[in-house]
C-alpha cells in the first residue's frame, strides 16, 4: 500500500474502535468517531460554500475539539490556526493577509476576532461542543450557504495548512503546507519515534503551532495511536493529566520541560506509576543539563529534535535507544536531506560550520506571494533555514546559533546557546536566555536574563565569575538581569531578538 498522501488517507489506518482523541474528564473519541467527525466537518463546510484550498481561520482555545477541527478543516479546505490571545489589530492583520473565507470560534467565546471578522465581512462559524459526546465531538453552524468551487476531500497537492513565520524582525511570511507535506512529516516523526497503535501522546503544546499540530496530533493519530489534548499548559496540572492519560510520551519546548521539572519532586508516585517510553523536545535548544535531569527524574530517554514551520516541523532528531543520543545535538537527518552551505551557495564538508539547508517531501516549495523572501531562502533546490550549524563525524548535527541571533561583539561571533548551556550548569540557575545588548563601541555586548531556582540566591558577580571559569573572556555576560519569569513567545519559546529592548537595556 502506498504511503498516505492526504489527511483522510492518513486517518484510515486507525482501528475503528481504538481511542484516537482524549481529554481530561472526557470519554475518548474512537477512530470511527474521528473519521465520521472529519467527514461531517468537510460536508458542513461544503454546505457553507467552503471547499478545497479555501482558507478557514481557527481561533479556538486548546481542546480536543481544536485538534479534531484542525483535521476536519485541513481534510477538505485549508486550515489557518491563529493564537486566541491575539489582540484585535493582530487578528485584522492576519485575517486580511490570509484572505480568510471564514473564521471558526468556540460557541459563546467573546474573542476579539468576532468583531474584526464582522467588520471585514468574513463569515463567523461557531463550533459547539456536543455536551454529552466524546472528546472532540462538535457541530459547526453559521448563517451561510453556497456551493464550493471544489468540494469533497482534498488531494495531495492541495494546501492543507497555512501558518505565518514568527516575524520577530520583519513582516511575517505565509508558509503554505500541502497535504503531502503534512503526511510526509507525520511519517518521518512516526518512523523516528517508532510510534504504534499502542502509543498515547500527552499534548501540552498550543494547537496553533506546528509542533503541537504535527508532532503530537497528526503523527500520533497517523500511527494509529492516540493523543490526549490538554487545555493551556500548566506545570501544576501536568501530573494530574499524566495520571489520567497514562501516556507513553509527551513532546514540549525546553521552557515547558523546565517548568515540569520544578514540580516533579513531589510527583514521584505519578511518574513511577505511569512510565514513559520517551520524552521529546523540540522548537528550541535543550541544554544538556536539562536533558540529564529529565532522564534522571522520568527514567526515560529524552529525544531532542529539530523542527521549523517551513519543514512541516521535523528536520533532524536524535534516535531512540539503543542508538546513541548526543546531548547538545539535534541528532541526525530525520526525513529530509540536511546539509551545510556557505554564503555563496556551496555545500560544505563534514565538520565545517555554515548555514543549515534542507530539501525533501516535507519542505514547503515557496513562501506565498513573497518573491524577495523566496529568492533569499532557496538556493539550488535547498531551503536555507537561517540556522548555523555543523555535522560531526557520526552525522549528528549541532546548531551553533540562529544567524540573526549570533552576537557580534566587535567582530567576535558568540553563540547565545553556548553561553546558555554553561550558565544552566550553575546550581542556582533554573532558566537563562542569552541575547545581544547594544554597545556604543563594540556594536553588541553579551547580556542574559536569569530565573533562579526556588530558594536559591546568586549575584551578577557570582554568575560572571562562574562563567569566566568555563568561557573565554569575551563570551562572559557583561549585563545580567534577574527575573521572576523570562518573557516568552506565544508558543512558549524564549525570544532572544528584541529582548534587550523589552528589558530596557537599549
pLDDT per residue, tens digit, the chain (506 aa), is 578 999 999 999 999 999 999 999 999 999 999 999 999 999 999 999 999 999 999 999 999 999 999 999 999 999 999 999 889 998 999 999 999 999 999 999 989 999 999 999 999 999 999 999 999 999 999 999 999 999 999 999 999 999 998 654 457 899 999 999 999 999 999 999 999 999 999 999 999 999 999 999 999 999 999 999 999 899 999 999 999 999 999 999 988 999 999 999 999 999 999 999 999 999 888 989 999 999 999 999 999 999 999 999 999 999 999 999 999 999 999 999 999 999 999 999 999 999 999 999 999 999 999 999 999 999 999 999 999 999 999 999 999 888 888 888 877 778 888 899 899 999 999 999 999 999 887 888 999 999 999 999 999 999 999 999 988 888 999 999 999 998 876 656 677 888 898 898 87
pLDDT of residue 6: 98
Task: Provide the pairing of β-strand 382-391 with 397-402.
Answer: antiparallel
Torsion of CA 227, 231, 237, 238, to 10 degrees: 30
C-alpha cell at 269: 508516585
Cβ proximity of 388 and 410 under 8 Å: no
Domain boundaries, given as residue ranges, for the chain: 7-298, 407-502
| 102 within 8 A of 48, measured Cβ to Cβ | yes
Quick one: which of 109, 223, 97 has its CA closest to 167?
97
Q: Under DSSP, is residue 319 helix (H, G, I), strand (E, B) or coil?
A: coil
> Which residue bears the cell 530558594?
455
Q: Rounded distance, CA 377 to CA 488, Å? A: 26
Sign of CA dihedral 346, 348, 353, 357: positive
pTM of structure: 0.86
- Distance in angstroms (rounded) separating the CA atoms of residues 502 and 258: 23
Select 7-298's CATH number: 3.40.50.12780, 3.20.20.70, 1.10.3720.10, 3.40.50.150.
Answer: 3.40.50.12780
φ and ψ at residue 496, rounded to 5 degrees: -85, -45
What is the pLDDT, as a whole number, of residue 168?
47
The CATH code belonging to domain 407-502 is 3.30.300.30
Cα angle vertex 233, ends 175, 481, to 5°?
85
CA-to-CA dists, residue 205 to 162, 247, 493, angstroms: 18, 15, 11
What pLDDT, on a 0 to 100 scale, did the predictor assign at position 170? 59
pLDDT given at position 274: 98
What the block records as the C-alpha cell of 171 is: 513582516
Number of C-beta neighbours around residue 460 at 10 A: 15
How much is the pLDDT for 269? Answer: 97
Amino acid at each position: 500500500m502506498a504511503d498516505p498522501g492526504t489527511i483522510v488517507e492518513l486517518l484510515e489506518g486507525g482501528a475503528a474502535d481504538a481511542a484516537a482523541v482524549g481529554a481530561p474528564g472526557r470519554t475518548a473519541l474512537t477512530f470511527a468517531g474521528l473519521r465520521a467527525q472529519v467527514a461531517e466537518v468537510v460536508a458542513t463546510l461544503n454546505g457553507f460554500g467552503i471547499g478545497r484550498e479555501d482558507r478557514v481561520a481557527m481561533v479556538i482555545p486548546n481542546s480536543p475539539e481544536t485538534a479534531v477541527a484542525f483535521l476536519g478543516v485541513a481534510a477538505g479546505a485549508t486550515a489557518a490556526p491563529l493564537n486566541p490571545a491575539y489582540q484585535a489589530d493582530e487578528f485584522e492583520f492576519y485575517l486580511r493577509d490570509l484572505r480568510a473565507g471564514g473564521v471558526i470560534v468556540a460557541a459563546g467565546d467573546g474573542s476579539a476576532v468576532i468583531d474584526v471578522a464582522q467588520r471585514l465581512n468574513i463569515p463567523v462559524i461557531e463550533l459547539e461542543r456536543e455536551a454529552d459526546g466524546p472528546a472532540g465531538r462538535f457541530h459547526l453552524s453559521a448563517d451561510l450557504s453556497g456551493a464550493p468551487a471544489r468540494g469533497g476531500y482534498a488531494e495531495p497537492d492541495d494546501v492543507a495548512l497555512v501558518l505565518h513565520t514568527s516575524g520577530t524582525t520583519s513582516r511575517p511570511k505565509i508558509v503554505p503546507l500541502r497535504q503531502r507535506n503534512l503526511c510526509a512529516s507525520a511519517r518521518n516523526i512516526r518512523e523516528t519515534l517508532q510510534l504504534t497503535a499502542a502509543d498515547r501522546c500527552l499534548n501540552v503544546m498550543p494547537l496553533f503551532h506546528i509542533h503541537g499540530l504535527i508532532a503530537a496530533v497528526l503523527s500520533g493519530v497517523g500511527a494509529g495511536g492516540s493523543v490526549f489534548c490538554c487545555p493551556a499548559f500548566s506545570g501544576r496540572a501536568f501530573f494530574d493529566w499524566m495520571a489520567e492519560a497514562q501516556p507513553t510520551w509527551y513532546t514540549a519546548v525546553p521552557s515547558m520541560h523546565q517548568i515540569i521539572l520544578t514540580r516533579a519532586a513531589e510527583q514521584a508516585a505519578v511518574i513511577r506509576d505511569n512510565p514513559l517510553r520517551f520524552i521529546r523536545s523540540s522548537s528550541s535548544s535543550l541544554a544538556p543539563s536539562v536533558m540529564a535531569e529529565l532522564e534522571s527524574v522520568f527514567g526515560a530517554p529524552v529525544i531532542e529534535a529539530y523542527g521549523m514551520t517551513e519543514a512541516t516541523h521535523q528536520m533532524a532528531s536524535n534516535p531512540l535507544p539503543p542508538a546513541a543520543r548526543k546531548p547538545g545535538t539535534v541528532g541526525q537527518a530525520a526525513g529530509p536531506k540536511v546539509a551545510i552551505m556557505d554564503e555563496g551557495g556551496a555545500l560544505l564538508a563534514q565538520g565545517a560550520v555554515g548555514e543549515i539547508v534542507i530539501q525533501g517531501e516535507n519542505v514547503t516549495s515557496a513562501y506565498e506571494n513573497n518573491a524577495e523572501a523566496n529568492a533569499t531562502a532557496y538556493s539550488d533546490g535547498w531551503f536555507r533555514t537561517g540556522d548555523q550549524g555543523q555535522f560531526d563525524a557520526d552525522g549528528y548535527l549541532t546548531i551553533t546559533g540562529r544567524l540573526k541571533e549570533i552576537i557580534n561583539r566587535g567582530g567576535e561571533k558568540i553563540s547565545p546557546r553556548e553561553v546558555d548551556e554553561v550558565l544552566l550548569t550553575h546550581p542556582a540557575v533554573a532558566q537563562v536566555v542569552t541575547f545581544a545588548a547594544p554597545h556604543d563601541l563594540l556594536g553588541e555586548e553579551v547580556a542574559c536574563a536569569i530565573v533562579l531556582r526556588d530558594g536559591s540566591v546568586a549575584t551578577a558577580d557570582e554568575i560572571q565569575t562562574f562563567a569566566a571559569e568555563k568561557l573565554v573572556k569575551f563570551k562572559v555576560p557583561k549585563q545580567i538581569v534577574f527575573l521572576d519569569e523570562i518573557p516568552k513567545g506565544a508558543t512558549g519559546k524564549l525570544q532572544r531578538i528584541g529582548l534587550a529592548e523589552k528589558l530596557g537595556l537599549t
